[in-house]
Structure 1
Amino acid sequence: MGFRDFNSRIQQERHEEAFWSIFMGFFRRWHSIIWVTFFLSFSSSVQASSIGYDPKSLNAFFVHHANRSIVKPHTGILYTVPLPANFTGMELTFVRLRSGSLRNRGANFSSFYIPPKVRAHPHVVRLALVYENLGNWSSYYYHVPNHSLVAPVVGFTVFDSPGPYVIGTQKLNFSFHEEPISIWFPRIELQGGNVTPKCVKFGSNVTFEISSMSKRNGCITRSQGHFSLVIPFPPPATPPRRPPPPPPPPQRAKKSYWKWWVLGFAGGVIGLVLIVLIVIAVSKLVKKKKLKAMETQSEKSVPLDAFWIGRSKMPSASMIRTQPALEHGYVP
């Protein structure tokens, strides 16, 4: 029994080890799958953020997407390329032409009119004209300092069109003998004001060139690229000027007023003292006159004897002049 129990325990431990090894292997595989998925999504988001709003990357995407979407196009027919949902608002079209037909007849597709007698360099049998209209995405990819776009950015590019590809990888140039290429903007958004838009051509390396409009809602060019209309930003409104604060009263005037107040107060005090002194002097003078008058009057009357009491001289009467008498001679 002991040997059997020992074998059963060993088998149970082996089963547990096998289960945990299978579980860990399964977990590791799913863990790696999750990490790979996360890394791919993160790298794609980083790549999208790095490509975002880059005109060159956008043009490369348009060419690649057109080659994948359109198969065996017919010459001379304008094709509209369906774009993904995240490019809603943009328009992508292209037409495949023979070089001789473009030279003899020109081309009038989309917003561009290419006149006859235009030659493509280097010479190819077939070429592809790719037209772009960025619509409401225009300001994200192109901008002019101190200006605002009033029309969508439209552009065209010329490529070779070899047999197996709709749009090739070689860019072509045009040479003109007479009139240039005309560009027409169907929608211009002017928010009031008598401002005439200017034509702007965007080149590579974030360069631009501003020129006057050649005709109403139109511009001209002699090279391929991207074009739009711009107006300068209105100057900032100047705030109304505040009236200047009143000038402070001069310091000298204040000092002169204080001087006058001090002088007036001192003069008043001095005048009051003089008046008091004058009143005292007048009262003393009046008293002296009264005393003198009394002395004069006393000298004119009957003189009285005088005697001294200490240092004071006092008058005295030696006798009574009038004897008292009764008013009636009989006694009741």
Structure 2
Amino acid sequence: MGFGASFIVSCVALCWLCSLRGIQSMDNSTLRSLDDIFQEYAENSLPRRPKTGVLYNASLPSNFTGIKVSIVRLRRGSFWAKGANYSSFRMPPRIFTEPYFTRLDIVYSDLGDESSHYYSVPNYTLVAPVVGFNIYGSRNSTGQIGNLTTPVTKLNLTLLGGPILVQFPKISLPHNGKPKCVRFYLNGTVEMTNMTIQAMCAVQDQGHFSIVIRTPPPIQHVPKENKKRVNKLWIWWAIGFGVGVIGLLLFGFIILMIIRIFRKRKIGKMEKESQRNEDLGTTNVGHSRMPTASVLRTQPAIENDYFP
């Protein structure tokens, strides 16, 4: 495919992407096309003789306002020995790339405020822009400048010297909620990991990354009319509860008095019955009833007729 045909295909894909920018998340084919477009514009922004190790900003059309794309070209041996510290990524040494190319092109992207138009995580909120990088084999690895007819090749990475650290620019992490690092795959899945002690994300491969926190459940606002109705119901409930307690106490007091009256009557009846069956008389002494003996007593009599 020549340069003209490649440019036409890129323009068509660009128009298709722009028509879908209102969608919050895109499918894997759209995201793959987005990476291809970034790579194409980044490489076209390189000067005729780019300097190795210099970061060049890509020129994007107005439809991608707010998105930043840049590219750096490195020698494979230098990348293996020193790594690369550009944009938001800190790549350690001893990163093995395949297939073999003598020069590498690293394309960086920062979606900025447009991140939520391309990526989303259910039940989570993005608190940092989506940043990413992809590494390609340079088309002029053989020394031919501007060899745009050669197909671009995305390289595979094997990290032997530790993870790649991602530091997100100009973000303020919220105090509520636990932030999580998230990696977006082209098939639509996501992978979450904890942040490092330095508030960075440690990743093991190229791709797109961000920070998310769990979205709190929505607060259900009660209308004012419902609030008034609830308050009235609460007042009537309190009044009813108070009246019920007072009525219960009054009812208990009445039952207690009735029991005492019946008990007194029963005791009085028992006293009358006992008085009828008594052999000894009784008399009232103060507030008590005391038994009394009969007035008549046995007359004394002489036991025999003997007189001294």
Query: Would you say 1:184 and 2:203 are equivalent positions?
Result: no
1:195-234 correspondence runs (5 A): 195-234=177-216
TM-score (norm 1): 0.56
The one-letter amino acid paired with 2:84 is A
Task: Give the match for residue 306 of structure 2.
Answer: none
CA distance in 1, matches of 2:15, 2:91: 40
Task: Give the match for residue 72 of structure 2.
Answer: 95
TM-score (norm 2): 0.60
Q: Specify which of 96, 111, 125 is matched with residue 119 of structure 1.
A: 96
Give the conservation status (yes or no) of the 8 Å contact 1:152–1:187. Answer: no
The one-letter amino acid paired with 2:99 is P
Comparing 70-79 and 154-163, the one that deviates more: 70-79
Deviation readout 1:301-321 (Å, 9 max, x if unpaired): xxxxxxxxxxxxxxxxxxxxx
CA distance in 1, matches of 2:119, 2:155: 23
Q: CA deviation at 1:94?
A: 0.7
CA distance in 2, matches of 1:97, 1:168: 19
Task: Give the match for residue 162 of structure 1.
Answer: 139
Query: Would you say 1:56 and 2:32 are equivalent positions?
Result: yes
The one-letter amino acid paired with 2:79 is L
1:235-250 correspondence runs (5 A): 235-237=217-219, 242=230, 246=237
1:124-143 correspondence runs (5 A): 124-143=101-120
Task: Give the match for residue 65 of structure 1.
Answer: 41
Larger Rg: 1
Give the conservation status (yes or no) of the 8 Å contact 2:43–2:71. Answer: no
The one-letter amino acid paired with 1:204 is L
Comparing 103-112 and 192-201, the one that deviates more: 192-201
Q: CA deviation at 1:162?
A: 2.2
Give the conservation status (yes or no) of the 8 Å contact 1:198–1:213. Answer: yes
Deviation readout 1:224-255 (Å, 9 max, x if unpaired): 00000001111233668946674899xxxxxx
CA distance in 1, matches of 2:85, 2:44: 25
CA distance in 1, matches of 2:213, 2:166: 17
Query: Would you say 1:86 and 2:68 are equivalent positions?
Result: no
Q: CA deviation at 1:182?
A: 0.5
Query: How big is the alpha-carbon RMSD for the aligned residues of Structure 1 and Structure 2?
Result: 3.0
The count of aligned residue pairs is 208
Moved over 6 A (4+): 43-46
* Cα distance change, pair 145–152 in 1 and its aligned pair in 2 (3 A): same
1:263-278 correspondence runs (5 A): none
Identity in percent: 41
Structure 1: segments with no counterpart, 5+ residues: 1-42, 250-332
Q: CA deviation at 1:203?
A: 0.8
Q: CA deviation at 1:139?
A: 0.4
CA distance in 2, matches of 1:128, 1:210: 28
Q: CA deviation at 1:125?
A: 0.9
The one-letter amino acid paired with 2:39 is V
Give the conservation status (yes or no) of the 8 Å contact 1:186–1:217. Answer: no
Q: CA deviation at 1:46?
A: 7.3
CA distance in 1, matches of 2:60, 2:186: 24
CA distance in 1, matches of 2:176, 2:100: 46
Structure 2: segments with no counterpart, 5+ residues: 1-11, 141-145, 244-308
Q: CA deviation at 1:208?
A: 0.8
CA distance in 2, matches of 1:44, 1:177: 36
CA distance in 1, matches of 2:220, 2:40: 51
Comparing 109-118 and 172-181, the one that deviates more: 172-181
Task: Give the match for residue 158 of structure 2.
Answer: 175
Where relative contact order (Cα < 8 A, 6+ residues apart) is larger, the structure is 2
CA distance in 1, matches of 2:216, 2:65: 31
